[in-house]
Amino acid sequence: MPRKVQELSEQIDSNALPAHIAIIMDGNGRWARKRGLPRVAGHRAGINAVRQVVEGSAELGIPVLTLYAFSVEN
């Protein structure tokens, strides 16, 4: 575990953590457009964010994580 993550996790009261976290993922295309990047760059950035959330939730012991992603049709 990286040092900064370790320091932060030591400050968290594990008894106060939720049993379920739900995240609605949206805005990858807007994120990329604001930076003058192709839409796919936004989706790649989203993949990295999802990876961090999944790994961080596992490290903290969050038992349930729900991720909802909008489709291209939205």
Question: Where in the sequence numbering do the catalytic residues fall?
Answer: 26, 74
Show the tokens assigned to 44.
Answer: 């790649």
E runs forming strands in 1-74: 20-25, 64-69
Structure-block tokens of residue 16: 């106060």
Sign of CA pseudo-dihedral 29, 54, 60, 62: positive
